Every structure is written in structure tokens, then in C-alpha cells.
């Protein structure tokens, strides 16, 4: 007689393995490296035209991919915007994003390759402030909110609805160390990650906190739900992280030139459910690289639930579609540090947000726990 925890007939072989194998340990063929283009000094003039010749190594590369490599200070998204706006020409003709190069073409870029600098503006957006004093604040960021503005087509699109916009409205003063676009921001969380984030109100506090982060004197602990059963109770992943050269929205552990990254995974609970096996983990990170926990979880063969960018399925078979997550099951739950100005020990915690708690209850409804 089938176990009550067994998947319905026809779904018993359904796991996340096919989705994960599509990304684990397999990086698309890395294109040949191309020399970086260095422009002569020109005045910052919106009408300036910069001209250069495509290197022979650009042969068979798409124009947007080549430009993103040859001009590393420009994102691929920004390159595509320039092309769509008609500001890029190849051999005198308007360029197309998917245009293939042969090498040797004359390429013209009209106007500045970088968008005009943004200045963050205040917005009346509610904030969950867990701690505030004259020097700093600790905010409980919801999933879906960007920390600061990113690239986009217009200033309105790039500079609305971020944590920075909300901070400027709620606080009279923030540090200037991060510049006009990132006032007060000492560290970041991914858009689809919720939880605790530190904000500095003055430059002295900002620099001291930055030094504490670099010296690993701030303890950041996350809670995550992973697909599959993680075998060991405690696992340390120490794999360098770098940007994927082809899928530039992703990071990878497969490049030798990555930056050092260390994540400590501790199993809290293993679940066997009607929707598959899962493991609840606590993750302490020593470094703060982009997508660090998500990439390291993928490297273990256990992607974060909801993280389709790194191999998690878009939907969990059998689960009510209304309960499928529109975010990653990753939450910055605990922050511990010594106050840089007062010397007072600071220890703050944030419970799982309601959408993660509801999801967890749903999959636990017909499950067994493995210690």
C-alpha cells in the first residue's frame, strides 16, 4: 500500500533534478575574451561620438555581448538600451542587438555609454524599522523591494520604490559615503530576499561599519528552504564567485577569477512531503558576494526554493498554484554586531514573513520530519 507521503502515481519520479542538472556544473561555452576598448579623453558631451574597430576576437559574437565585454564598465542591459535608441552604428548602419559580428567592423557609439547619474529622491513608502538611534538604523526589508536604483530606460523607472527612496523620506540625515544614489547603504540584500539590513546615518558610522564588515565582525545569519535533503548537518562552502559571462544576471562558481566567498550551512530540519524533499537550513556568511547563498546552495545540488535563476522549478507539482512562491525562500533573519559608536552589543532578529510561513505550513501539512 503506498505511503500517505508518496506522490500520486505518475508524479513519483518528478523531482527538481532535471531543472537543476540544466544548470549545475554546466556553464555555457565561454566566448573568447576580447580586448577592452579604451577611449581617448573626451569632454562629457551628450553628442560625443566614440569610434573604434571591432577586434578579430569578436568574430561570431553578438554585438551586445561583444560590447559588454569590450566595455566592461557598461552593463549588457545598458548596451541594449543604447542599441535600441539608435545610438550604436556598425559600419555606418544602425545596429541590431542580435547582430553577429565578423571582426574588423567600425563601431560608433553616440553619447555617453553611461546613463546620466541619478539622485535618489524621497518617497513615502512604509518601513519596518526594528532599531533606530542617532547613528544607525536596522530595517526589515520586504521581498520585492530593491535596495537602491538600478539601470532602466528612464529616471522614473530606475528611481522609484527602492529602500533608499523610503529611507530619504523617513530619516532626516543619511551617510554620503555611498554617493547620491546609495545614501546610508552599508550592505545589500537581493530584491527577492527579505530581512535585516543596516543603514548608516553619518559618514563616520558608515566607514566604521564598512570596516567591521570587511573584518567579518558583523554576523549575518539567514534562513533558507532548499530542495532535496542536505546530507550533512553542517557544510561549509568556500567557492569563489564571479559573474556569468553569458547569462549576466547570474553569478557562477565556475570561473577561476572569482572573488572569495564562504558560506556555512547548518541543517535545522529535513522534510519529506507530498511535494518532494526539502531541507530548512540556517546559513551564516563570512563574505557578502552577489547572490552568494543562492549560488553556493546550487553548488551543493540543493537550490533555494523559488530561485528559478539557479535551478529551482517554476512550480512545485501538486501544490496549490496560489501557494507557489513569487520570491526566493531566503530571509536575513539575524544580525549581530557591536555598535560602532557606543560599543553596545546589538542583536536583532526578524521572524519569517507571512508568505514564507504560509508556504512552510502548506508543505508541512502532509509531511514527516527527518532529524
Instruction: Answer yes or no: do 334 and 238 share one domain.
Output: yes
Burial classification of residue 38, based on how many CB atoms lie within 10 Å of its CB (0-12 exposed, 13-18 middle, 19 or more buried): exposed
Instruction: Answer yes or no: do 78 and 169 share one domain.
Output: no
- With beta carbons less than 8 A apart as the criterion, state whether 271 and 280 touch: yes
CA distance 250 to 192: 14
- Please report how the helices 76-84 and 63-70 are oriented relative to each other, as an axis angle in degrees rounded to 10: 130
pTM of full prediction above 0.85: no
Catalytic residue among 128, 133, 180, 190: 190
Instruction: Answer yes or no: do 238 and 284 share one domain.
Output: yes
From 110, 141, 156, the end of a domain falls on 110
CA distance 168 to 198: 15
What is the pLDDT, as a whole number, of residue 218?
A: 96
Residue 42 lies in a domain: no
Phi/psi region, residue 144 (left: phi>0; alpha: psi -120 to 50; beta: rest), is: left
What is the pLDDT, as a whole number, of residue 22?
A: 41
SS3 content of the chain, % helix, strand, coil (to 5): 20, 25, 55
CA distance 218 to 234: 21
Q: What is the pLDDT along the chain (371 residues), one digit of tens a residue?
A: 444 444 455 544 444 444 444 444 434 434 456 777 765 443 344 457 788 999 998 899 999 888 888 887 676 777 887 888 888 999 999 998 789 999 999 999 887 655 555 567 889 999 999 999 999 999 999 999 999 875 443 455 557 789 999 999 999 899 988 777 788 999 999 999 999 999 999 999 999 999 999 999 999 999 999 999 999 999 999 999 998 888 878 999 998 889 999 999 999 999 999 999 999 999 999 998 999 999 999 999 999 999 999 999 988 888 888 888 999 999 999 999 999 999 999 999 999 999 999 999 999 887 765 55
CA distance 39 to 48: 12
From 199, 215, 231, the end of a domain falls on 215
The residues pairing with 349 across neighbouring beta strands, listed in sequence order, are: 334
Q: How crowded is the C-beta side of 214, counted as CA atoms within 13 Å?
A: 7
The residues pairing with 136 across neighbouring beta strands, listed in sequence order, are: 200
Instruction: Answer yes or no: do 96 and 154 share one domain.
Output: no
Q: What's the CATH code of the domain at 142?
A: 3.30.2350.10
From 175, 200, 215, the end of a domain falls on 215
Catalytic residue at 190?
yes
Instruction: Answer yes or no: do 145 and 163 share one domain.
Output: yes
Length of the chain: 371
Q: What angle do CA 192, 194, 199 make, to 5 degrees?
A: 115
Residue 29 lies in a domain: no
- With beta carbons less than 8 A apart as the criterion, state whether 253 and 296 touch: yes
Residue 300 lies in a domain: yes
Instruction: Answer yes or no: do 250 and 353 share one domain.
Output: yes
What is the pLDDT, as a whole number, of residue 45?
A: 42
Q: What's the CATH code of the domain at 62?
A: 3.10.290.10
- With beta carbons less than 8 A apart as the criterion, state whether 270 and 248 touch: no
- Tell me which DSSP letter residue 142 carries: P
> Which domain covers residue 100, as residue numbers?
49-110
Residue 3 lies in a domain: no
Instruction: Answer yes or no: do 366 and 323 share one domain.
Output: yes
Residue 7 lies in a domain: no
Instruction: Answer yes or no: do 226 and 330 share one domain.
Output: yes
- Total domains present in the chain: 3
Among 224, 222, 220, smallest CA distance to 335 is for: 220
The grid coordinates of residue 80 equal: 541594449
- With beta carbons less than 8 A apart as the criterion, state whether 98 and 79 touch: no
What is the pLDDT, as a whole number, of residue 153?
A: 36
Residue 4 lies in a domain: no
> The dihedral of CA 191, 185, 170, 117: what is its sign?
negative
Residue 16 lies in a domain: no
Alpha-carbon 5 to chain mean position: 34
Instruction: Answer yes or no: do 242 and 195 share one domain.
Output: no
Instruction: Answer yes or no: do 358 and 257 share one domain.
Output: yes
Instruction: Answer yes or no: do 225 and 311 share one domain.
Output: yes
What is the pLDDT, as a whole number, of residue 31?
A: 46
Amino acid at each position: 500500500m503506498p505511503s500517505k507521503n508518496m506522490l500520486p502515481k505518475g508524479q513519483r519520479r518528478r523531482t527538481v533534478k532535471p531543472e537543476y542538472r540544466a544548470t549545475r556544473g554546466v556553464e555555457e561555452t565561454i566566448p573568447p575574451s576580447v580586448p577592452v576598448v579604451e577611449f581617448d579623453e573626451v569632454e562629457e558631451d551628450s553628442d560625443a561620438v566614440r569610434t573604434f574597430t571591432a577586434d578579430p576576437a569578436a568574430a561570431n559574437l553578438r554585438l551586445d555581448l561583444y560590447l559588454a565585454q569590450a566595455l566592461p564598465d557598461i552593463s549588457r542591459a545598458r548596451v541594449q538600451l543604447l542599441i535600441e535608441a539608435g545610438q550604436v552604428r556598425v559600419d555606418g548602419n544602425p545596429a541590431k542587438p542580435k547582430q553577429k559580428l565578423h571582426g574588423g567592423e567600425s563601431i560608433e557609439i553616440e553619447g555617453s555609454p553611461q546613463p546620466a547619474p541619478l539622485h535618489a529622491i524621497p518617497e513615502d513608502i512604509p518601513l519596518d524599522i526594528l532599531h533606530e538611534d542617532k547613528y544607525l538604523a536596522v530595517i526589515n526589508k520586504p521581498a520585492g523591494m530593491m535596495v537602491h536604483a538600478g539601470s532602466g530606460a528612464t529616471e522614473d523607472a530606475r528611481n522609484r520604490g527602492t529602500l533608499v527612496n523610503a529611507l530619504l523620506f523617513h530619516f532626516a540625515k543619511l551617510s554620503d559615503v555611498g554617493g547620491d544614489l546609495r545614501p546610508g547603504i552599508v550592505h545589500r540584500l537581493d530584491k527577492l530576499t527579505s530581512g535585516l539590513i543596516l543603514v548608516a546615518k553619518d559618514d563616520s558610522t558608515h566607514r566604521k561599519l564598512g570596516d567591521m564588515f570587511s573584518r567579518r565582525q558583523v554576523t549575518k545569519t539567514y534562513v533558507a528552504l532548499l530542495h532535496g535533503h542536505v546530507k550533512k548537518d553542517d557544510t561549509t562552502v568556500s567557492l569563489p564567485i564571479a559573474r556569468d559571462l553569458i547569462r549576466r544576471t547570474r553569478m557562477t562558481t565556475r570561473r577561476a577569477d572569482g572573488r572569495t566567498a564562504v558560506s556555512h550551512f547548518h541543517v535545522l530540519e529535513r522534510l519529506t512531503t507530498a511535494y518532494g524533499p526539502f531541507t530548512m537550513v540556517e546559513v551564516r556568511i563570512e563574505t557578502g558576494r552577489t547572490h552568494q547563498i543562492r549560488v553556493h546552495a546550487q553548488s551543493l545540488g540543493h537550490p533555494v526554493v523559488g530561485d528559478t535563476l539557479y535551478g529551482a522549478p517554476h512550480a512545485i507539482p501538486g501544490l496549490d498554484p496560489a501557494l507557489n512562491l513569487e520570491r526566493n525562500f531566503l530571509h536575513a533573519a539575524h544580525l549581530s554586531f557591536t555598535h560602532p559608536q557606543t560599543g553596545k552589543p546589538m542583536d536583532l532578529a526578524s521572524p519569517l514573513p507571512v508568505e514564507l510561513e504560509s508556504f512552510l505550513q502548506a508543505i508541512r501539512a502532509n509531511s514527516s520530519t527527518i532529524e
